[in-house]
Amino acid sequence: MAVMGREWFADAVLYEIYPQSFADSDGDGVGDLQGVIARLDHIASLGVNVIWFNPCFASPFVDAGYDVADYLTIAPRYGTNEDMAELVAKAGERGIRVLLDLVAGHTSIEHEWFRRELAADGPDPAGDRYIWCEQLPEQVWQRETPGTPAWVPSPGPRPGFYLKNFYDQQPALNFGWVRRPGDPAWRQPADAPGPLRNRQALKDIIAFWLDRGVAGFRVDMAFSLVKDERVSEGLAATVALWREIREWLDDAYPDAVLIPEGSEPRTGGPAAFDADFFLVIHDEHGSLFDNHFPGVLPFHEAREPFFDAAGKGSTRVFLDGWDAARATDPARLIVMSTADHDYDRLCCGPRTAEQLGAALTFLFTWGNVPCLYYGDEIGMRFLPGLPNVEGSVCDPSYNRAGCRTPMQWDAGPNAGFSTADAARLYLPVDPSPDRPTVAAQEADPSSTLHFVRELIALRRATPALGTRTSTRVINEDYPFAYVRGESHLVVVNPRSEPADLAVAGVVGAPLLSSGVTAHAGGLSVAGFGHGIFNFEP
Ligand code: GLC
């Protein structure tokens, strides 16, 4: 880990761990940090070199820990701050860095800052940390919480209403408002005392964990901070806030990375964040992997995804988005995930294990920073219809529980996740008799697990497949094919029908492939086939 500055992130292969569901070492039915430590060899065996944890701080868990009650204390159910320090050290011994999740825009109603303001009968003389108004404003500004009222009546004693950021129990921190004519007093400017206290608090939280060895943060709802900012206006005030934090980091912690949820708007100045995060929340990614078969998000158009057996999709929306991101900033890193804690897994709805090879090949060779969601290395399935656990059901059509089920380790009770009674598990284990497990796939050289290891090893050994080289599309339809670094050809056919690629320049046997045969005019790719080849233009 001798790479100076933040260059190391260009070679990152991330592994996202939802701490509730990875490994339970103390038999209470909920995962914990000692459980992760005991499984570090598995994580290292994948070839990933960064772990990103969802929030693991003290919380009442109304939103699975995205409602933080104390940023500086690991939630007791996961262990202690010492356990986190041990995990960071032991991961480091294996060449793995650790990113935590920084919930910057809101806290829990149980945070002491909120309790104190709730108990007061008026504004804090040192500046309010939250956003309060005494009467409901006529024009209700709302960007982050579609469908539910943004202002929550105060349970008192403080009178009035507070602004929330997501659920009612997640009051928005006060980072100020964009100035508009006729602003009432509660729309404080971004340099008012309360917003400045919160900026300093963000730095203090970041420094606290960086001092304990973590490598940086994924920043939750990173662009939700300054209120009444319009996306069409570039969210300039929030970007400026993050740029100030980046400047401080450049001096104090130059190799720490910050990765936002979503994409950073371009304002002309230097970037505040180290990458963009293309998730299925974006149309670009959603057009390829519509991981929403049980339900389509309100802001997500129903469509035929490209990575689908029917083969009716298009890569155009994705390619336009990718090209646009590259046009403004050719060296910009873009993180693309197999799935995450908010979206269905790759293996969801009708998508079967045999379809995963093409999707994984693309996600690990396109030139993005890849992020593997825990369990996707064995093709764990999304389980529809689970009960609401810790805010997993956002609305009746959007249930996140199915991607948060326990990791499937072996054939033991609870798939080796926990020794608790099944009824006490955080969420039920996939009940299918043929559910994939790490142990079974270890023993099967043709398994998804072996394939993922080979794919990541090939990527890490082949600079042309990484983030620093060119990507040239040679066929945007089925089979999707592109050349990396003018030295490697990748072809994927996500549909069930075979497809043919006319191409010259393929050299020798495939480096990693399934269902691809070379002929004089190019390559024949079976349904769900995929391959990576040496290439000479
Ligand atoms: C982000 C998280 C999500 C959480 C929300 C509110 O979108 O990914 O899980 O519910 O922010 O913090």
Q: Which residue ranges make up each domain of the chain?
A: 7-103+275-459, 108-172, 470-535
Q: For 326-384, give the secondary structure using H, E and C.
A: HHHCCCCCEEEECCCCCCCCCECCCCCHHHHHHHHHHHHHCCCEEEEECCHHHCCECCC
Q: Find all residues with CB under 8 Å of 135, minimum gap 6, and list them.
A: 160, 161
Look at residue 361 in the predicted model and tell me its pLDDT. Answer: 98
- Using the atom order of ligand 1, give the atom closest to the CA of residue 394: 10
Identify which of 515, 470, 514 has the alpha carbon closest to the alpha carbon of residue 488. Answer: 470
Q: Strands 480-484 and 488-492: what pairing?
A: antiparallel
- Is the separation of the CB atoms in 456 and 364 below 8 Å? yes
- For domain 7-103+275-459, give the fold: TIM Barrel (3.20.20)
Residue whose CB lies within 8 A of the most ligand 1 atoms, among 17, 164, 166, for a mutation test: 166
- Give 108-172's CATH code, choosing from 2.60.40.10, 3.90.400.10, 3.30.470.20, 3.40.50.720: 3.90.400.10
State the Cα–Cα distance between residues 150 and 147, nearest whole angstrom: 9
CA of 220 to the centre of ligand 1 (A): 6
Residue 217: helix, strand or coil by DSSP?
strand
Distance CA(526)–CA(49), nearest Å, equals: 33
Q: Could you tell me what percentage of the chain is helix, strand and coil, using 3-state DSSP and rounding each to the nearest 5? A: 25, 20, 50
Asked if 100 and 56 touch (Cβ cutoff 8 Å), the reply is yes
Task: Specify the higher pLDDT residue, 230 or 356.
Answer: 356
Which of 47-51, 131-135, 162-166: highest mean pLDDT? Answer: 47-51
Say yes or no to pLDDT of 127 above 50: yes
For the whole model, what pTM was predicted?
0.96
pLDDT in tens, 300-346: 555 688 999 999 999 999 999 999 888 888 889 999 999 999 988 98
Q: Looking at per-residue confidence, does 280 or 490 come out higher?
A: 490
Q: How far apart are CA 293 and CA 351, in angstroms?
A: 9
CATH number for the domain whose boundaries are 470-535: 2.60.40.1180
Confidence of residue 279 (pLDDT cuts 50, 70, 90): confident
CA angle 363, 214, 200 (to 5 degrees): 110
Mean pLDDT for the stretch of residues 457-478: 97
Q: What is the pLDDT of residue 2?
A: 44
Rounded to an integer, the average pLDDT of 183-208 is 96
Q: Which atom of ligand 1 is nearest to the CA of 165?
A: 6
Using alpha carbons, list the distances in angstroms from residue 216 to 49, 84, 208, 210, 242: 13, 14, 11, 7, 14
| 105 Cα nearest atom in ligand 1 | 12
CB 64 within 8 A of CB 16: no
- Whether the per-residue pLDDT at 139 is higher than 80: the answer is no
Q: Is the dihedral of CA 388, 394, 400, 402 positive or negative?
A: positive
Give residue 52 CA to ligand 1 midpoint distance, Å. Answer: 14
| Same fold flag, 7-103+275-459 and 108-172 | no
Average pLDDT value for residue range 403-431: 98
Cα separation of 477 and 491, whole Å? 11
Distance from the alpha carbon of residue 491 to the mean position of ligand 1, in angstroms: 34
Q: What is the mean pLDDT of the chain?
A: 93
Based on its alpha-carbon atoms, the radius of gyration of the chain, rounded to whole angstroms, reads 23
**Cα separation, 77 vs 56, whole angstroms:** 9
Tens digits of residue pLDDT in 353-408: 999 999 999 999 999 999 999 999 999 999 989 999 999 998 877 889 999 999 99
- Name the least confident of 59-63, 224-228, 256-260, 276-280: 276-280
Q: Give the per-residue pLDDT at 136.
A: 87
The pLDDT of residue 149:
77
Q: What is the pLDDT at residue 280?
A: 66
pLDDT number for residue 298 = 46
Counting atoms of ligand 1 from 1, which one is nearest the CA of 342? Answer: 9
Which ligand 1 atom is at minimum distance from the Cα of 67? 12
Residue, of 537 and 290, whose pLDDT is higher: 537
Averaged pLDDT, 97-115: 98
Beta-strand ranges (E) seen in 206-283 are: 216-220, 257-260, 276-278
Rounded distance between C-alpha atoms, residue 402 and residue 297, angstroms: 15
User: Cα 53 from chain centroid?
Assistant: 10
Residue 188 has pLDDT above 90, yes or no: yes
What is the predicted pLDDT for the residue at 295? 46
Could you tell me which residue, 268 or 79, shows the higher pLDDT?
Answer: 79
Mutational pocket test of ligand 1: of 20, 52, 63, 281, the residue with most ligand atoms within 8 Å of the beta carbon: 63
CA dihedral 41, 45, 47, 50 (to 10 degrees): -20
User: What is the Å distance from ligand 1's center to 65 Cα?
Assistant: 9
Other CB atoms within a 10 A radius of the CB of residue 64 amount to 22
Percentage of the chain with pLDDT > 70? 95
Lining ligand 1 with CB less than 6 A are 63, 66, 103, 166, 220-221, 261, 341-342
